[in-house]
Each structure stands twice: as C-alpha cells, then as structure tokens.
Structure 1
Amino acid sequence: MSTYDVAVIGSGPGGYVAAIRCAQLGMKTAIIEKYSTKGGTCLNVGCIPSKALLDSSHHYEDAVKHFEEHGIELTGDIKLNLEKMMERKASVVEQTTKGIDFLMDKNKIDSYQGVGSFEDKTHIKIEGEETVTIEAKHTIIATGSKPASLPFIDIDKERIITSTEALKLKEVPKHLVIIGGGVIGLELGQVYKRLGAEVTVVEYLDRIIPTMDKAQSKELTKVMKKQKVNFAVSHKVTSVENTGDEVVIKATDKKDKEVEFKGDYCLVSVGRKPFTDGLNAEAAGVKMNDRGQVEVDKHLKTSADNIYAIGDVVKGAMLAHKAEEEGVFVAETIAGQKPHIDYNLIPGVVYTWPEVASVGKTEEQLKEDKVEYKSGQFPMRALGRSRASGDTDGFVKILSDKETDEVLGVHIVGARAADLIAEAVTAMEFRASAEDIARMSHAHPTYSEAVKEAALAATEDRPLHT
C-alpha cells in the first residue's frame, strides 16, 4: 500500500493547485481524479471552454457587425462554421488539461484515476480500472460542484440542458430560453446571441447578476438589451416541458400572472451545488451541512482533524480562483505555516462583453451595514482608449470610507474589466485610499485611466475628463 503525506481528492483548480503547493513544501503527494482528464469543471466544462467560445463568437460578431466601420471590407458572405468553432474550443481544453498532467509530473505528484472514497480517516479506496487503497496522513477534499436544477425540471440533456451540454451544441438554437440571470447563463446567452440565436433570460429575482452592485446590474441589462437579448425578471418558473422540437417554459410574473416562453432549447442555469457523491465522508468522520457542503472551521479543517476541504464543496463563492487560494492556504497550514485569505478581496467577474468585475463591498451592502461612504463613478465613454476601440459602454465606480478614504469596493463594467479589477484588489490588499489611486500615474491612453478618474471622483469629486 502506498503511503502519502497528503492525498488530494479532485483535480480542479483548487485540487491541483493544492497538490502542487504541497509538493513544493516537500510533502509526498497524491492526486485522485475520477475522470480521464484533470482540471475539473473549470478546465473541462466551465471557465476555459466558455471563454474560448466567448472569444470566438466575439470575433464572429465583430466580422459581421463592426469590421466595416474600421475600414475592413470583406468580400462574399461571412459564414459561421460552428463545428470548427467547437473543435477550436476542444483543442484549447485539451492543451490546458494536458498542462495539468505536465505540472503533476514536474512536481513528482502521483496521479490516480478513479473514484476516491474514505475507508476511514487515513485510508482512501480508489475505484477505477483497478481498485487500490492508499494511506494518507492528511487529505484535502476538492471534489467541486455540479449544475443545480429545480426539483420539477427534468434535465434531458437534449432540449433541456445545463451549461455542460450548452458548451457542445451541434447547432445554433433558434430561440434559447435561459432560466437564471447569473454569470453562466449570461455568458452562454451572449455566445449564442452573437451566433444568431434569439435569447430570453428568465430570472426569479428583480435583476440579473443579483450578487453584484446594483449599478452593474442596471448597466449590463441596458447593454445586453441593446444587443437584443430579452429579459424577464421577477418571474418564477413553474414548469419546463420538452414537447419534441421545442421546450415550453411556464412562469408567473410579479403580479402572479402566468407567462409562457417557447424555445427549441432551454438552458437551466440556476447555480451549482457541491458534489460529494461516492466520497463516503461519514466513514472518515467528516460532517456535512444541510446544503450538502462539507463543514469546515476557519482553517478549512473538517470535523476530522487530518482532513481539509476547499473550493465549491465548502461555503462561499464558487470561483476557481477562490478554490486556488484555499488550496495554497491548506497546503501551507499543513506545513505549519500561518497563511491568510481575505474573502472580501476575492474578485468576481462576468465575462460578457462588456465585462463586469467587482471586489469588496457593494453600495447596497454598505448601506445595510450603515457604513458612511463616498462614491466616485467615471464613464468609459469619456476615455480616449474606449473611443478608439469602440468600447464605450460601462463605468468604474469606487466606494471609499467617508472618514478615512480607504477603498471599500470597486465595481467595473467595461472592456477588460476582468483585468482592471486586479488593480483594485492590489490597492485594497494594501488598504489604499481613493486618493492613493488618484495620485498614481496611469498610462495614456488606457482603459485603466477610468480607475484613476473614478478615484478622483471619490476623493474630491474632481475627475479630470468629465
């Protein structure tokens, strides 16, 4: 029987990063993955393939709608080759997942393929082509999540689909109805809208991306409506039926009136839920809560003193980069170090175009917490760089403490917001004031100048370019 200092169950961003950090710290490490490729949801059926399709569909839309205004004239019809687009996506996924295999070999991490389940707190049975048992002094549970649904919906994976099936459709839907106005639904909705589908988003709450700042929700709704995406907010879905060549979705609006939507595909995108099937956690004394999450303390240790859990199986936002930070945190904790994670500074991103990114407190949260604050906002349309590229939608909003001027939250809608948010995270990690950001030199012309201008607006209400 092979013996390890650490065994990691699950090879998604949290799991494989945890394994690498454990190996770097001198621990003999094993990683267990039930699928034939490593990388978890993110690399195989999540972050990476969706971004590949977002980029490809963006290029297609630019060619169809925007090249001419840049003086680029194409002769003949512009044709979509969906099969080739999907092949490129698959190639990106393959390259990325093979990269994980390389990293495992480089760091001398033993890989096992099969379902890992606890026999007790130190022994893990791995059922794959062969069944083996390993012994581990410490174990990190990183088994991730899977798409959630509603109890009355039958996901048939043909017409009624999850994000997994939406990433490999063989045709562009005529009308894609999306249940859920969160990150995944909006990103995939924009992909297929660009490719020619009619898209309708049905959301239970009164706005899309409800966990982000309300101003971001309002702006993204405005922009996507301009892109001809339909929205039905404050609608409670009551039934979803595949009738053959179409799906009928029934819902009630805020006046309790029944509304019906019909499409050839229905994407159910109502969030994700922890995946712990087959783990046999009880055999190791690992407690779960009523939401199916693994219970952990502030050190991410479970009720078993040698077992930890990270990522989507524990509480908090289901984000790949959050799982990575937790993976490093646990590895360093096991090694006797004293790492730290500030969950308030884990950024959130929506990869639509324009992108949406946020870190820290929203304006609604500050009001609820009765924190006195200042707000500075700057529109992207006032930037020379935005006008040059034609990406004039969006804004940067900075919220700072009224007394100390410390930055409490930064919320961006605009081109490259996903990259711009890192400046805000850095500033907030060092507890910068809005004035600190305002006094930094930002290259001209860049999108990042909007961050400086918003900081000026928050500091003394003196942006230079509006």
Structure 2
Amino acid sequence: VWARLGAKVSVVEALPRIIPHADAELAEALCRSLGKQGLAFHLETRVERAASQGGTVSVHATHQGQDVLLQGDKVLVAVGRRPCTTGLGLEELGVEFEPNSRRIQVNDGFQTSVPGIYAIGDVIRGPMLAHKAEDEGIAVAERLAGRKTHVDYNTIPSIVYTWPEVASVGETEEQLQQRGVDYRVGKVPFLANGRARCLDETEGFVKILAEARTDRLLGVHIFGPRASELIAECVTVMEYRGSSEDIARISHGHPTLYEVVREAALAVDRRAIHV
C-alpha cells in the first residue's frame, strides 16, 4: 500500500525468502512482483537495533556478517503476534497454557483444562486467522448443542492481500516432498485467460497438486488477481475429499478468472485447453 502511494519501501526479512510457510514457487513469484513494483527486499538480514533522531529513523542490521544501514521516516514492525491471555484471571481458575507461546491448551472439543471453559481463535493452537476462529466458534456452539462437529485445519485457506494476491490451501510441494508423497502438478498462467487479459491483470498462475494414484486434491496455490476469491472453490473440493478431475469436469462460466482453476485441474492430467 505504501509503495503504491509513492513511498520508498524496504523490507527486512531474517529468513531466506518472504512468506516462508507458503509454497516456495509462490513466494518467489510474489517477491519478484513486489520488486518490480519498487519494493526493496533484504533477505537473510537481521535487525540489530533502531533509533529515531530528528524525524529520521535509522535501522541497523546485518547480512552475512556485513553491516546494513537503512534510513527512513517510519518503521513498521511486523514480526508476528502473540495471544493476549494475561491478566484475564485464567491462571487463578486453573486454565493451563502452552509454556512457550502462552496459548491456552484445549482438547479436540476446544475445552480447556477446566470443565465448562472453552477457548477458540488466536489464543489456541493453529494459524491466527479470523475465518479459522469463526469456524471454531461455530464448532463449539454446535458441540454445546449436542451435535457432532469438527474443524478440518488442512482446508483452512491462507491469503496474502498484496496485489497480485496470494492464496493457498492444503500442502505445498515442499511438504509433499518431505513426506515422500507421489503427486502430480497442474499449473496454468493467468496470461492464458481471456478475463485476465480484459482486466489487464495477467500476472500469476494457479498450481494444483494432486495425489498421483488417486488424483485426490492435496494442495492448491494461486498467485494472481482475485486469488482470495478463487481459492474458495478449491477449499470446497478438498473438504469433500475431491479430485482434480472433479474441478476439471465442472462447467466454469466464460469469460471468468475461475476458468484458470479449471485449466490447472485439466493440466494435472496434461489436458489443458488453452496452454
């Protein structure tokens, strides 16, 4: 946002790449795209200290043993969040916490160590996402009403609201390789999509990962326009243990960005039409 408003933006990241939990190919594509938009990335760089003097902020960092000095008007610290669980009287009630993160310990039914006290959202395990917390809240309410329910954390979508957007669900290629899973890849660029061309938003791609033997959808990773909306179809199919063939056989309206998702599903079996 700041870069689009004309500010010079420098990003300092201690790890070798940005959005480290995302699919590596997706993260690399986003880094290139933001670089073309004018953002400067300092990867594998660790901030040592920062000071403000005379309206100028100086950030002192190190990269591979070398000193790095960055100066600007403002510093935005974005190193993550911590659950707000102190000062609520939970310790006095006997609620147990995870020792390092201070997250509240819960069982599979979201009940804490104290009967009758439940916890959801950012204060328990899992990603700190609003839609994840919403699903957990519904699950707790249904359990209290005597219904059986669960939350499938493998189908919780993750979204990065840059432009182009990034959206993912399921496992990455790196995770599948670490588990030794035999999988197939279908990948199609937005450049091959008529609606994307009309919008002049052709940067990016859709990548679908499916199990080689069963074709079951294992992960979907989207970098491109409206990725945050396109991922919903894939979440639905994964929730019902569907396959790439299921997406490929569904008629998608033309011209729409959703057609790229279908093309990627067809590409899993090397049957893409427009690439």
Is 2:216 the counterpart of 1:426?
Answer: no
Partner in structure 1 of residue 189 of structure 2:
379
Match of 1:438, as an amino acid? A
Partner in structure 1 of residue 208 of structure 2:
398
Q: Distance in 1 between matches of 2:121 and 2:209?
A: 28
Equivalent residue for 1:238, pick from 28, 31, 48: 48
- TM-superposed CA distance for 1:207, in Å, is 0.7
Match of 2:171, as an amino acid? K
- TM-superposed CA distance for 1:372, in Å, is 0.8
Match of 1:273, as an amino acid? R
Partner in structure 2 of residue 120 of structure 1:
none
Equivalent residue for 1:259, pick from 45, 60, 68: 68
| Higher Rg | 1
Partner in structure 2 of residue 279 of structure 1:
88
- TM-superposed CA distance for 1:429, in Å, is 1.0
Partner in structure 1 of residue 217 of structure 2:
407
Is 2:249 the counterpart of 1:464?
Answer: no
Structure of greater relative contact order (alpha carbons < 8 Å, 6+ residues apart): 1
- TM-superposed CA distance for 1:335, in Å, is 1.8
Give matches, 1:307-318, under 5 Å: 307-318=117-128
Q: Per the alignment, in what secondary structure is the counterpart of residue 309 of structure 1?
A: coil
RMSD of aligned alpha carbons: 0.9
Q: Per the alignment, in what secondary structure is the counterpart of residue 307 of structure 1?
A: coil
- TM-superposed CA distance for 1:244, in Å, is 3.1
Partner in structure 2 of residue 227 of structure 1:
37
Q: Per the alignment, in what secondary structure is the counterpart of residue 272 of structure 1?
A: coil
Match of 1:391, as an amino acid? E
Partner in structure 1 of residue 137 of structure 2:
327
Match of 1:342, as an amino acid? D
Give matches, 1:359-378, under 5 Å: 359-378=169-188
Q: Distance in 1 between matches of 2:213 and 2:264?
A: 18
Tell me how many residue pairs correspond in the alignment. 274
Q: TM-score, normalised by structure 2?
A: 0.98
Partner in structure 2 of residue 352 of structure 1:
162
Q: Per the alignment, in what secondary structure is the counterpart of residue 388 of structure 1?
A: helix
Match of 1:262, as an amino acid? Q
Partner in structure 2 of residue 210 of structure 1:
20
Q: Per the alignment, in what secondary structure is the counterpart of residue 324 of structure 1?
A: helix
Deviating above 4 A after TM superposition, structure 1's stretches of 4 or more consecutive aligned residues are none
Residue deviations 1:124-178, cap 9 Å, x none? xxxxxxxxxxxxxxxxxxxxxxxxxxxxxxxxxxxxxxxxxxxxxxxxxxxxxxx
Q: Distance in 2 between matches of 1:382 and 1:256?
A: 44
Match of 2:153, as an amino acid? Y
Q: Per the alignment, in what secondary structure is the counterpart of residue 222 of structure 1?
A: helix
Q: Per the alignment, in what secondary structure is the counterpart of residue 221 of structure 1?
A: helix
Q: Distance in 2 between matches of 1:336 and 1:436?
A: 34
Match of 2:73, as an amino acid? D
Match of 2:133, as an amino acid? A
Match of 1:357, as an amino acid? A
Match of 1:432, as an amino acid? G
Give matches, 1:150-161, under 5 Å: none
Match of 2:272, as an amino acid? P
